């Protein structure tokens, strides 16, 4: 198995107090996948070369769920920075499947990569859109020399993506495109999603 470490307690100063149940997999000799429970707004590894990913909407000016939590924790400067991101078409700063980057402001992480996952019941090809959201977030991170990135379960809240299907897309896409980064985290808010992600990683990355 490529599971290389499992820690059930806080695993180091860098990730704050929410570093619970971290399970670590080797994606390559230089890149690790880590799956943990917690609040992504508290996450940081490096503070100058790290980024959390926001499950935003196309307007990119905030919302509920993890988006609302990130904007509250980052402070009002984040919304101002988002507002300055040029519109692709009226009301759309980040089309579904694309990604945009801003500073992290009051967050511990230095950057926020905003991406937009599919609305599962509306998108005509939700799997392709979700894959694009993960892939383009990784592309943007590498362009900015980010070495550590943390994803939430994009589209698994109000956008209604089934957890098991989302986990397959998330983990297979990270496995395919993470090379060049040092560590890719999934920071999962709920026990049930964490369990689904962990089982999927054991199948797709373990062994």
Which residues are tagged catalytic? 67
Q: Is the CB of residue 162 less than 8 Å from the CB of residue 126?
A: no
| Site stretch for ligand AR6 (CB under 6 A), options 64-72, 75-83, 124-132, 170-178 | 64-72
Choose, by CB under 6 A, the member of 33, 66, 112, 146 that binds ligand AR6.
Answer: 66
Q: Is the CB of residue 166 less than 8 Å from the CB of residue 15?
A: no
Choose, by CB under 6 A, the member of 14, 16, 20, 63 that binds ligand AR6.
Answer: 63
Give the tokens for residue 130: 């979700």
- E strand spans, 110-157: 111-115, 148-151
Q: Which is nearer to ligand AR6, 14 or 180 (CB)?
A: 14
In degrees, rounded to 5, the angle at the alpha carbon of residue 52 between the alpha carbons of residues 118 and 38 is 90
- Give the containing element (helix H, strand E) for 132: helix 126-143
Give the tokens for residue 197: 């992600």
Compute the distance between CA of residue 183 and CA of residue 139 in angstroms, rounded to an integer: 14
- The residue written with tokens 């894959």 in the block is 131
Q: Which is nearer to ligand AR6, 14 or 63 (CB)?
A: 63
| Site stretch for ligand AR6 (CB under 6 A), options 29-37, 38-46, 74-82, 92-100 | 38-46
Choose, by CB under 6 A, the member of 153, 184, 198, 201 that binds ligand AR6.
Answer: 153
Min separation Cβ 18 and ligand AR6, Å: 9
Choose, by CB under 6 A, the member of 21, 97, 104, 117 that binds ligand AR6.
Answer: 117
40 scored as a contact of ligand AR6 (CB under 6 A): yes
Q: Which is nearer to ligand AR6, 22 or 40 (CB)?
A: 40
3-state secondary structure of 50: strand
69 scored as a contact of ligand AR6 (CB under 6 A): yes
Q: Is the CB of residue 53 less than 8 Å from the CB of residue 153?
A: no
| Site stretch for ligand AR6 (CB under 6 A), options 28-36, 90-98, 102-110, 148-156 | 148-156
Compute the distance between CA of residue 115 and CA of residue 67 in angstroms, rounded to an integer: 10
Min separation Cβ 144 and ligand AR6, Å: 21
Q: Which is nearer to ligand AR6, 145 or 164 (CB)?
A: 164
Compute the distance between CA of residue 123 and CA of residue 140 in angstroms, rounded to an integer: 23
Q: Site residues (CB under 6 A) for ligand AR6?
A: 39-41, 55-57, 63-67, 69, 117, 152-159, 187, 189-190, 193
């Amino acid at each position: 198995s490529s599971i290389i470490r499992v820690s059930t307690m806080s695993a180091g100063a860098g990730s704050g107090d929410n570093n619970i149940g971290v399970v670590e997999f080797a994606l390559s000799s230089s890149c690790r996948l880590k799956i943990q429970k917690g609040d992504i707004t508290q996450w940081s590894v490096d503070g100058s070369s790290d980024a959390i990913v926001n499950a935003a909407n196309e307007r990119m000016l905030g919302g509920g769920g993890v988006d609302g939590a990130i904007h509250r924790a980052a402070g009002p400067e984040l919304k101002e920075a988002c507002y300055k991101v040029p519109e692709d078409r009226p009301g759309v700063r980040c089309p579904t499947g694309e990604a945009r980057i801003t500073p992290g402001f009051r967050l511990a992480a230095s950057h926020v990569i905003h991406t937009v996952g599919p609305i599962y019941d509306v998108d005509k090809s939700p799997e392709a859109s979700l894959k694009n959201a993960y892939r383009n977030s990784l592309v943007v991170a590498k362009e900015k020399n980010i070495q550590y990135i943390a994803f939430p379960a994009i589209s698994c809240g109000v956008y209604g993506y089934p957890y098991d299907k989302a986990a397959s897309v998330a983990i297979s896409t990270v496995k395919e495109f993470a090379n060049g980064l040092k560590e890719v985290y999934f920071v999962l808010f709920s026990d049930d999603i964490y369990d689904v992600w962990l089982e999927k990683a054991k199948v797709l990355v373990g062994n």
